[in-house]
Structure 1
Amino acid sequence: MSGQGLEQLEEHLRALTPRGIALAFSGGVDSTLLLAVLKRLRDEADFPLLAVHFHSVLHTPSERAEAERLAAAIGVELVVIDFDPIAIPGVADNPPDRCYRCKRHLFEGLVELARTRGLATLVDGTNADDALVYRPGRRALRECGVVSPLEALGIGKAQVRAMAAALNLEVASKPSAPCLATRFPYGTRLDAETIGRVAEGERTLRAMLGSDGNLRLRVHGAVARIEIDPARMLAALAQRGRIVEALKSLGFEHVALDLDGFRSGSMDGPATLATSLDDSRTI
């Protein structure tokens, strides 16, 4: 399956290459797979290729360093764009369409960068599974003319990981790492200090529990709610005292371990989805 899928992906991407490609590159498994395949295609027939990484307080410093390292290892030029998400209109209020507002701002900048570099095609790593869950940022991609090859080919996360493993990419089993704004309920005011506490809390938890697997530190006012894979809960409970002490030292008054375990998009409840942004609404 991975071999056939790779051939289809290569063929799809090959058709996009003649006029140059700018790839939005997070350093996650989806965009790393695309960058590796595009590099293979460029080795066959040269074309302009640029990876672009967006970095802000909503991302940990390690994410930037990892993106830089991966791009260098693959052998593709990387441009890092630093931005202030709090300054983007509406983002600091963390509304349900926050991701749309932020991505629209970012990809408008990517459109301009691609234009100045003579790159005709904008590509990102949205996969087919993203169409099945709440992803308001996908609307911004459509509006800015961004191409999502994985989604177009019906390639979901499991197949992406299989392809990455087939190419011996070290990120094949890398957990997803959405921006830190996803740790807060919609409507919670975002600021650099609060976001920084979450980043430090997750860094501390991973140092205690290991870097493998899924982990989120969700914030509900003074409560820090830990989501981890169920298989790791006993390990967390074994370090209960250290975890409580560490998170309270960051300013949280209460620390909770969510017995439901890790759930992607757990802040996207039914009420939020019922009132979420539809494709006809404008900001």
Structure 2
Amino acid sequence: MDIYEKLDNLKNNIKELQSVAVAFSGGVDSTFLLKVAADVLGREVVAVTAHSSTYPERELNEAIDFAKCRSIRQRVIVSEELEVDGFSDNPVNRCYLCKNELFNKIEAVAREEGARYILEGSNYDDLGDFRPGLQAVSEHGVLSPLRDAMLTKAEIRILSRGMGLKTWNKQAFACLSSRFPYGEKITRERLRMIDRAEQLLLDLGFSQVRVRFHKDVARIEIGQEQFGKMLDSEVREKIYKEFKNIGFMYTTLDLKGYRTGSMNEGLAGSV
């Protein structure tokens, strides 16, 4: 099945739903899903965007701007994961605790808005990683149209570019809690440290970044194609000084570079 057949299937599947609430973070996948849903169902779509300390303000603002510019109905809700029992202890099922809380709140919005179904933006590639959040998706009866249409991240980027979506080449994003090793306490202060550190790297021109938290050590992941930029002495010195001001005693560069789910690499055989 080619990419455009998958897109047609996606549109047909969404059309049958009649009215939907879309969990919308402003990332590549959820933006593409919201755009397709809005094209197919028009005013029978409401975007639901969660505001919490685990997501940077820039992501929230981008999501709000996208919906506003396209006259898509949007509800912004507060979903503070740190208030969920056990979440801040950062257990292996942290993402389940987060998604369970989120979908409870989206269900309430969907009822208020008269939306028959809730959609979320997992893609076909997400089946290949450890993602406990998908358990909450299943338990709440939330639909994953991109996965059902077998659309991969690469295909979503291609289609997004064809639709003129600025997110087609946006860096992959996961909530800031994913920067911590399992069992490492998550606090608002530590989340702010990660947010500030990653924003600095983005401002310096690094396009795909993660700053992993290892107590007083910051482990930087960037695309291998940008390793050369890190060799610039002025860039390195600025990063070192600013990271120290943020609160990191040491700053390291991960030689394997950026990859999704690097904090899951030590879970093999344990889950």
Q: Same fold (TM over 0.5)?
A: yes
Residue pairs, 1:213-228, within 5 angstroms: 214-228=208-222
CA distance in 2, matches of 1:173, 1:73: 19
CA distance in 2, matches of 1:24, 1:128: 17
| Alignment: residue pair count | 268
Which residue of the other structure, out of 251, 259, 265, is the alignment partner of 1:269? 265
**2:217/2:252 contact within 8 Å kept:** yes
Shift in Å, 1:40 = 1.4
Unaligned runs of 5+ in 1: 277-283
Residue pairs, 1:153-192, within 5 angstroms: 153-192=149-188
The one-letter amino acid of 2:229's match is A
CA distance in 1, matches of 2:168, 2:138: 27
CA distance in 1, matches of 2:69, 2:36: 13
Shift in Å, 1:115 = 1.4
Q: Secondary structure at the match of 1:274?
A: coil
| Post-superposition CA distance 1:129-174 (Å, at most 9, x none) | 1011011000001100100001112111111111111211111111
Shift in Å, 1:217 = 0.5
Give yes or no for the alignment of 1:230 onto 2:231. Answer: no
Farther off after superposition, 30-39 or 225-234: 30-39
Structure with greater helix percent: 2
Unaligned runs of 5+ in 2: none
Give yes or no for the alignment of 1:86 onto 2:82. Answer: yes
| Post-superposition CA distance 1:114-141 (Å, at most 9, x none) | 1122211010111111011011000001
Q: How well do the aligned residues superpose, as a CA RMSD in angstroms?
A: 1.3
Moved over 6 A (4+): none
What's the counterpart of residue 41 of structure 1?
Answer: 40
Residue pairs, 1:197-208, within 5 angstroms: 197-208=193-204
What's the counterpart of residue 119 of structure 1?
Answer: 115
What's the counterpart of residue 17 of structure 2?
Answer: 16
| Post-superposition CA distance 1:198-254 (Å, at most 9, x none) | 1001111111134x3x10001111001100001111112211111100101111111
Q: Secondary structure at the match of 2:263?
A: coil
**1:209/1:236 contact within 8 Å kept:** no
TM-score (norm 2): 0.95
CA distance in 1, matches of 2:119, 2:70: 17
TM-score (norm 1): 0.91
The one-letter amino acid of 1:40's match is D
CA distance in 2, matches of 1:53, 1:84: 12
**1:209/1:235 contact within 8 Å kept:** no
The one-letter amino acid of 1:231's match is E
Give yes or no for the alignment of 1:26 onto 2:25. Answer: yes
What's the counterpart of residue 280 of structure 1?
Answer: none
The one-letter amino acid of 2:255's match is L
CA distance in 2, matches of 1:203, 1:41: 35
Q: Secondary structure at the match of 1:261?
A: coil
Shift in Å, 1:48 = 2.1
